[in-house]
């Protein structure tokens, strides 16, 4: 391997593949985040030590969390690692979206490390500036396949961006090509959205191209992203990772951010499972994705009838519904299971029981969506099933739409509402936002999608122009959180007070309560996943439900702020009065 990396010891140049331990990452490991937040550094170091013992040749270190001082925590933890010879013998990967954190880390880390990452998302000038600083400080770098237009998801865009980045780094900066590690974006497959089916295939094709056409450059990827659709089923996830790694390494990938203690190897996977996973990765199609979803359900503790994929299996699931149950329960179950068969007949029956067609949407259908949200949050449903239930909801709404229109006056004829969506400035991730867009559109909302890297000023302009009923802000990386806070401040300054929904991997209920909601006049609500957006929007826009929903949101946020606030200190004499009886 033509790369010079070292901690206390040099990386083995005979290694053909470098596994980068992923568990010292506050964005990817809840346990590690908790330990760092609670200052339990010895236990956090044990996680690093275990990864090295399990075979990680490089350690990824990430402290990007909205409620941490990322720079201080990074420096402190790296200094602790520096005093542990069994850990610091391996090279480190400094992982942050904040350049100040990366710069501080490079000043205190020993050996030759890797910066994760730089990209062209903010243009060539900043890309070159960061690359020159990395070279000056003696590190290698991961280069993400992003540019000014956003994240590369196709083979063609990946190749274009990687070729351009290679030329800039090698021919303009003078960086040794062996210090360049490309990450062409491992993205989730089998999401239930056909446009995502070829993500893995295109990645593998890109690996081959880089290996042949960009001499001496290396290739990496964050493998856990591949299987996000199947969170809650560890066997399927680890099996997908094993097959994907096998295929990628064969094509030239020589780095990957992985869990080195994964229990499933390529050789462990039964032939019938291997064939299904290979079809998803190498022969992508909707049929292949559905076969993997069926396998995941078969191997989980969930009753297989909660998933429907059409044909005979749909008929079996339909028969599982108790036809003697009330129509409200039957409709809720059909939505939960994603069953379209017989839906029109059931809705005709429901129309005779409900005074208004809209009550069917706000009653049993929303009840079904609530169940879906709960199951998904518990890891008992997978993303493709959530997308399928959304499509079932869309079909039900299309059946009800003529009845709803007939019952409305001319002044009332409208969609469920208008939603303005944007990934905030500095962030080019839009997969989650796109899923939210699909789910909400399926529930009758008009979507205005502003795309990625949208500045607060542009969001304010669009809000004033389109007058949305709800604004949705999305972001994956930690700097996005401060952009969200700045965006709601500017919305408030412009006199806008419509509900704002906050979502994305780094967002949380606590951060929203502490940093975003206080800067805005209207309600700001954190949304955990895409299945909840329509439910929350429905409550916020319903005149009868909105006051209580807003009050509940504000009360919960106030409770979070109180619980997070440091407890005031009292005088020593007062503290002694409050001591437990058994100390007296």
Peptide bond into 167 cis (omega under 30): no
Question: 404 pLDDT exceeds 90?
Answer: no
Question: 92 pLDDT exceeds 90?
Answer: yes
- Report pLDDT for 409: 54
Residues classed as catalytic? 427, 429, 480
**What's the rounded mean pLDDT across residues 119-129?**
96
The DSSP line for 313-376 is HHHHHHHTS-TTS-HHHHHHHHHHHT--TTHHHHHHHHHTTSSSHHHHIIIIIHHHHHHHHHHH
Contacts of 257 (CB under 8 A, 6+ apart): 20, 21, 22, 60, 93, 220, 221, 222, 223, 224
Question: How far apart are alpha carbons 529 and 246 in whole angstroms?
Answer: 31
List the end-to-end C-alpha distance of the chain, in Å, as a whole number.
67
| C-beta of residue 420 within 8 angstroms of C-beta of residue 460 | no
Q: Return the H-helix or E-strand segment holding 125.
A: helix 124-136
- Report pLDDT for 307: 35
pTM: 0.75
Half-sphere exposure of 54 (CA within 13 A, CB side): 18
Same domain, 445 and 532: yes
Question: How far apart are alpha carbons 112 and 6 in whole angstroms?
Answer: 5
Write out the residue range of the structural domain in which residue 288 sits. Answer: 120-254+265-300
| C-beta of residue 182 within 8 angstroms of C-beta of residue 210 | yes
Q: Return the H-helix or E-strand segment holding 150.
A: strand 150-151
Q: Return the H-helix or E-strand segment holding 101.
A: helix 99-108
Same domain, 461 and 330: no
**How many residues does this entry show for the chain?**
584
Residue 260 located in a structural domain: no
Same domain, 295 and 311: no
Residue 176 located in a structural domain: yes
| C-beta of residue 152 within 8 angstroms of C-beta of residue 121 | no
Same domain, 156 and 283: yes
Instruction: Show the tokens assigned to 411.
Output: 């002044």
Residue 79 located in a structural domain: yes
If one counts every other C-beta atom within 10 angstroms of the C-beta of residue 261, the result is 13
| C-beta of residue 24 within 8 angstroms of C-beta of residue 62 | yes
Same domain, 339 and 382: yes
Number of domains in the chain: 4
Question: How far apart are alpha carbons 454 and 471 in whole angstroms?
Answer: 13
Same domain, 183 and 317: no
- Report pLDDT for 301: 46
Domain edge (last residue) among 66, 95, 112: 112
Same domain, 22 and 157: no
SS (H, E, C) 385-406: HHHHHHHHHHHHHHHHHHHHHH
| C-beta of residue 116 within 8 angstroms of C-beta of residue 94 | yes
Question: 377 pLDDT exceeds 70?
Answer: no
Residue 582 located in a structural domain: no
Q: What is the CATH number of the domain that holds 392?
A: 1.10.1240.10
Instruction: Give how far Cα 30 sits from Cα of 44, 222, 305, 346, 506, Å.
Output: 12, 17, 32, 43, 12
Residue of 481, 427, 480, 472 whose CA lies nearest to 448:
472
Residue 413 located in a structural domain: no
Same domain, 396 and 438: no
What confidence category does residue 564 fall into, taking pLDDT thresholds of 50, 70 and 90?
A: confident
Same domain, 352 and 393: yes
What confidence category does residue 145 fall into, taking pLDDT thresholds of 50, 70 and 90?
A: very high
Residue 412 located in a structural domain: no
User: pLDDT, tens digit, for every residue of 15-49?
Assistant: 889 999 999 999 889 899 999 999 999 999 999 99
Instruction: Show the tokens assigned to 321.
Output: 């519904």
Output 382 or 229, whichever has higher pLDDT. 229
Domain edge (last residue) among 112, 144, 166: 112
What SS3 state is found at 1? Answer: coil
Residue 505 located in a structural domain: yes
Same domain, 294 and 339: no
What confidence category does residue 313 fall into, taking pLDDT thresholds of 50, 70 and 90?
A: very low
Question: How far apart are alpha carbons 522 and 109 in whole angstroms?
Answer: 45
Same domain, 313 and 441: no
Percent of the chain with pLDDT over 90: 61
Residue 569 located in a structural domain: no
Residue 301 has φ and ψ, to the nearest 5°, of -90, 0
- Report pLDDT for 139: 97
**What's the rounded mean pLDDT across residues 360-373?**
82
Question: How far apart are alpha carbons 401 and 433 in whole angstroms?
Answer: 26
User: Using the 8-state DSSP alphabet, how is residue 255 labeled?
Assistant: E
User: pLDDT, tens digit, for every residue of 184-213?
Assistant: 999 999 988 898 999 999 999 999 999 999
Residue of 234, 192, 181, 198 whose CA lies nearest to 60:
181
If one counts every other C-beta atom within 10 angstroms of the C-beta of residue 521, the result is 13
Same domain, 294 and 310: no
Question: 308 pLDDT exceeds 50?
Answer: no
Domain edge (last residue) among 58, 93, 112: 112
Q: What is the CATH number of the domain that holds 45?
A: 3.20.20.20
Q: What is the CATH number of the domain that holds 524?
A: 3.40.50.280
């Amino acid at each position: 391997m033509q790369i010079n990396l070292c901690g206390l010891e040099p990386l083995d140049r005979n290694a053909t593949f470098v596994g980068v331990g992923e568990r010292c990452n506050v964005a990817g490991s809840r346990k590690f985040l908790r330990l760092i937040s609670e200052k339990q550094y010895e236990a956090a170091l044990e996680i690093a030590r275990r990864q090295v013992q399990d075979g990680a040749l490089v350690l990824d270190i990430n402290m990007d969390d909205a409620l941490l001082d990322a720079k201080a925590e990074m420096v402190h933890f790296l200094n602790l690692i520096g005093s542990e010879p069994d850990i610091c013998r391996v090279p480190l990967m400094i992982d942050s979206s904040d350049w100040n954190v990366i710069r501080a880390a490079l000043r205190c880390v020993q050996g030759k490390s890797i910066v994760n990452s730089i990209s062209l998302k903010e243009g060539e000038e900043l890309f070159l500036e960061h690359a020159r600083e990395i070279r000056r400080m003696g590190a290698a770098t991961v280069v993400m396949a992003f540019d000014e237009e956003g994240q590369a998801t196709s083979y063609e865009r990946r190749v274009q961006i990687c070729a351009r980045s290679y030329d800039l780094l090698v021919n303009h900066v003078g960086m040794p090509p062996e210090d360049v590690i490309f990450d062409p974006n491992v993205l989730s497959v089998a999401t239930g959205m056909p446009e995502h089916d070829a993500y893995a295939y295109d990645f593998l094709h890109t690996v081959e191209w880089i290996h042949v056409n960009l001499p001496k450059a290396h290739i990496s990827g964050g493998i856990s992203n591949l299987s996000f659709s199947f969170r809650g089923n560890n066997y399927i996830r680890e099996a997908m990772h094993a097959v994907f790694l096998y295929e990628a390494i064969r094509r030239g990938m020589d780095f990957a951010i992985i869990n080195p203690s994964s229990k499933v190897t390529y050789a462990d996977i039964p032939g019938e499972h291997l064939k299904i996973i290979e079809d998803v990765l190498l022969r992508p199609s909707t049929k292949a994705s559905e076969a993997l979803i069926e396998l995941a359900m078969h191997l989980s503790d969930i009753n297989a009838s909660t998933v429907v994929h059409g044909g005979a299996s749909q008929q079996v699931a339909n028969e599982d519904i108790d036809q003697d149950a009330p129509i409200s329960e039957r409709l809720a179950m059909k939505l939960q299971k994603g069953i379209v068969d017989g839906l029109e007949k059931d809705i005709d029956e429901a129309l005779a029981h409900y005074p208004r067609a809209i009550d069917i949407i706000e009653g049993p259908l929303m009840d079904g969506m609530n169940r879906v949200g709960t199951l998904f949050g518990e890891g008992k449903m997978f993303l493709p099933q959530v997308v399928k239930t959304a499509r079932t909801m869309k079909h039900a709404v299309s059946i009800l739409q003529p009845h709803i229109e007939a019952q409305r006056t001319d002044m009332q004829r409208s969609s469920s509402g208008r939603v303005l969506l944007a990934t905030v400035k500095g962030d080019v991730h839009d997969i989650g936002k796109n899923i939210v867009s699909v789910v909400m559109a399926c529930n009758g909302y008009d979507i205005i999608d502003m795309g990625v890297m949208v500045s607060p000023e542009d969001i304010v302009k669009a809000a004033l122009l389109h007058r949305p009923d709800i604004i949705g802000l999305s972001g994956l990386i930690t700097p996005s959180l401060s952009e969200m806070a700045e965006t709601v401040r500017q919305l408030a300054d412009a006199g806008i007070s419509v509900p704002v929904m906050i979502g994305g991997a780094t967002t949380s209920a606590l951060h929203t309560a502490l940093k975003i909601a206080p800067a805005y006049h209207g309600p700001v609500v954190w949304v955990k996943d895409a299945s909840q957006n329509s439910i929350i929007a429905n409550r916020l826009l319903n005149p009868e439900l909105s006051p209580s929903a807003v009050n509940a949101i504000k009360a919960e946020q106030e409770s979070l702020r109180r619980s997070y606030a440091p407890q005031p200190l009292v005088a020593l004499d007062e503290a002694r009065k409050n001591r437990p009886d058994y100390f007296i």
